[in-house]
Amino acid sequence: MPVEKDAGGTTITGNAINYFQVLICKQAMEMHLKFGGTMRLTRTATPKRLREIATSYTGVKYARSTAGMQEALEDMKTILASRTPDAVVRV
């Protein structure tokens, strides 16, 4: 089982790690777009890094613009909608 919960916390293993990364990347992109780039999920969640993560899962190079970020966000949503936590893999 890729996600295990016990009294001590949650352990994510296997391809569920990739699913979790796509989920967090999607949330960071939504936050970036919602606040016009003035707020980040973490200090390392830069627009460039978010586009790089999206590219690692889709194989598509995204433009360095709001439209490029929006396109990457839509692709991340498609990945999450079409796969289960253990079926998300990098390209």
CA dihedral 11, 13, 18, 21 (to 10 degrees): 20
DSSP 3-state assignment of 2? coil
pLDDT digits over 40-80, tens only? Answer: 888 888 999 999 999 999 999 999 999 999 999 999 999 98
Model pLDDT, residue 56: 93
Amino acid identity at 16 = A
Angle, CA of 73, 11 and 91, to the nearest 5°: 40
Give 6's strand partners.
Answer: 9
In angstroms, the CA 24 to CA 16 distance is: 12
Provide the CA 3 distance to its chain's centre, in angstroms: 18
In angstroms, the CA 30 to CA 89 distance is: 22
Q: Where are the domains of the chain?
A: 15-82
DSSP state at residue 42? S
Model pLDDT, residue 38: 85
